[in-house]
């Protein structure tokens, strides 16, 4: 499986999907740039999500909120107090680890509270009992007492660097959807049940980022906060439990590699009464792809208490006022991108094929003249290319032999290759090759747009 991951990373860099950030300066750990093809695939994934969950529905509206919010937001949400990891350091090699990674489970919060009641000597003894050998240097019994580590990135707002100007880069997109709840309610006249959707950047100062783009400190989220009456929360929870996996299948993620994990008490986020983590069989193991949480009325209630503003919903028919409860399906863009690549990657002999669904493939087609030194072929192929790109994002390639051009497009997931040859000049058709089967058929030039478009539905 490690070899499989290496192939994906190699393909991503070689073909312009993902590059290490700041590479000419040695890079910056676990930061990545999405190249020409990567940004297309990433945008197509986001556009597919937005189309499915916003444009094709009448009960969900969108939001694009600021990255930096009033810090009172994070106090009310509980992030300043509770958004922490526990960090432990080996005193021999000074490598730091997340406590949960070493213990292999949750429930550390209560253990930490117990640890704080002990004397320094008893704390060290307890740590030696719990944490044996350092994974980095193999030294035994040399761990320091664990400490809390806040995951939010701190900065300063304005020219003065002091406590009053301290702000944070948002660690999640969700809070803006709660803070703007009344603005959206009043401006859109939408009725319960309804949702607010947002795609945007979030930042977490992760202790152990890694596995390529799977866990990074800067990432994008696709989140929906779906507001419901308390009595209906289970019905809506079950709906989203199947709706998101249905979309993941639509964008090519292998549903046989998707598994549900019910998160037990003590391991859920502070706001959640029920959470299911949907894990995917990544090349490096089974890891969380997206989460589904029942946040109750925690957020709106807390923001009302902290701000003094009325955050209740008023039922127009009954006049009843209440805090809606919230179902939250939350996906990471980068994790989804990686799962798409892992699901699409295949090998056929010496041919690498990225079997992306046509709707999210970077290029919808590629156009070639059979021979680059024949002006009449180049002219006709170029006209086809110019006509098609008014409707689709298409590639042009006239370099090398035709076989190599086919293989190059297979590797980046282009569904169809259109080749203009001498018969095209006489018959008004072109050879269209299918990426997955490598089969070829002749299609009339005036039907190419229809043919390519049919595969995107």
318-332 residue pLDDT tens: 999 999 999 999 999
353 is a domain residue = no
DSSP 17: S
Domain shared by 255 and 122, yes or no: no
Domain shared by 75 and 165, yes or no: yes
239 is a domain residue = yes
Domain shared by 239 and 318, yes or no: yes
Looking at the structure of the chain, the number of domains it has is: 3
Domain final residue, candidates 130, 150, 170? 150
Domain shared by 312 and 166, yes or no: yes
Q: What percentage of the chain has pLDDT greater than the value 90? A: 72
pLDDT band at 116 (very low <50, low <70, confident <90, very high): low
Domain final residue, candidates 150, 178, 200? 150
Q: Rounded to whole angstroms, how far apart are CA atoms 183 and 429?
A: 55
Domain shared by 314 and 380, yes or no: no
Domain shared by 100 and 129, yes or no: yes
Q: Rounded to whole angstroms, how far apart are CA atoms 259 and 281?
A: 8
Domain shared by 140 and 173, yes or no: no
Sign of CA dihedral 388, 393, 399, 400: negative
Ordered DSSP codes for 268-329: S-TT-SEEEEEEEEETTEEEEEEEEEEEETHHHHHHHHHH-----EE-TTT--EEPPEEEEE
357 is a domain residue = no
58 is a domain residue = yes
Domain shared by 110 and 143, yes or no: yes
296 is a domain residue = yes
What range defines the domain where residue 105 resides? 87-150
pLDDT tens per residue across span 371-410 = 999 999 999 999 999 999 999 999 999 998 999 999 999 9
Query: What is the crossing angle of helices 2-14 and 333-344, to 10°?
Result: 100
Domain shared by 208 and 302, yes or no: yes
Residue 202 belongs to a domain with what CATH number? 3.30.930.10
pTM, full prediction: 0.88
Question: If we measure between CA atoms, which residue out of 145, 179, 196 comes closest to residue 73?
Answer: 179
Q: Inform me whether the pLDDT recorded for 268 exceeds 90.
A: no
Residue 393 belongs to a domain with what CATH number? 3.40.50.800
């Amino acid at each position: 499986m490690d070899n499989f991951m290496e192939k994906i990373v190699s393909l991503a860099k070689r073909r312009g999907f993902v590059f290490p950030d700041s590479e000419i300066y040695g890079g910056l750990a676990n930061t990545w740039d999405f190249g020409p093809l990567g940004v297309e695939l990433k945008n197509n994934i986001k556009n597919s999500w937005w189309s499915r969950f916003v444009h094709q529905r009448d009960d969900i509206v969108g939001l694009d909120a600021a990255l930096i919010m009033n810090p009172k937001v994070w106090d009310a949400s509980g992030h300043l107090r509770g958004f922490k990891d526990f960090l432990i350091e080996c005193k021999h090699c000074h490598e730091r680890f997340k406590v949960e990674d070493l213990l292999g489970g949750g429930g550390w919060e209560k253990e930490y509270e117990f640890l704080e009641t002990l004397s320094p000597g008893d704390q060290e003894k307890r740590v030696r009992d719990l944490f044996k050998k350092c994974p980095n240097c193999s030294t035994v019994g040399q761990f320091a007492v664990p400490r809390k580590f806040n995951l939010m990135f701190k900065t300063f707002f304005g020219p003065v660097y002091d406590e009053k100007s301290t702000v944070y880069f948002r660690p999640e997109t969700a809070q803006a959807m709660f803070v703007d709840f009344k603005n959206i309610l009043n401006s859109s006249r939408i009725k319960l049940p309804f949702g607010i959707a947002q795609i945007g950047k979030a930042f977490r100062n992760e202790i152990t980022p890694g596995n390529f783009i799977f866990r990074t400190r800067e990432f994008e989220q696709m989140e929906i906060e779906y507001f419901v009456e308390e009595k209906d929360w289970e019905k809506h929870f079950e709906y989203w439990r199947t709706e998101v996996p249905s979309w993941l299948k639509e964008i090519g993620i292998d549903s046989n590699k998707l598994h549900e994990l019910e998160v037990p008490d003590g391991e859920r986020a502070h706001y959640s009464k029920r959470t299911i983590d949907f894990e995917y069989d990544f090349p490096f193991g089974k890891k969380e792809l997206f989460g589904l949480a029942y946040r109750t009325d925690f957020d709106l209630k807390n923001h009302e208490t902290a701000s003094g503003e009325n955050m209740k919903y008023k039922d127009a028919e009954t006049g009843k006022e209440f805090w809606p409860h919230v179902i939250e399906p939350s996906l990471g863009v980068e994790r989804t991108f990686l799962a798409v690549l892992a699901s699409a990657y295949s090998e056929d002999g010496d041919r690498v094929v990225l079997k992306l669904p046509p709707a999210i493939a970077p290029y919808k087609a590629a156009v070639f003249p059979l021979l680059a030194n024949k002006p009449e072929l180049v002219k006709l192929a170029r006209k086809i290319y110019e006509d098609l790109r008014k409707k689709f994002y298409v590639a042009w390639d006239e370099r090398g032999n035709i076989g190599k051009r086919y293989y190059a497009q297979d590797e980046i997931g282009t569904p169809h290759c259109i080749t203009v040859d001498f018969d095209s000049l006489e018959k008004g058709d072109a050879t269209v090759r299918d990426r997955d089967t490598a089969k070829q058929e002749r299609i009339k030039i005036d039907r190419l747009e229809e043919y390519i478009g049919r595969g995107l539905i």
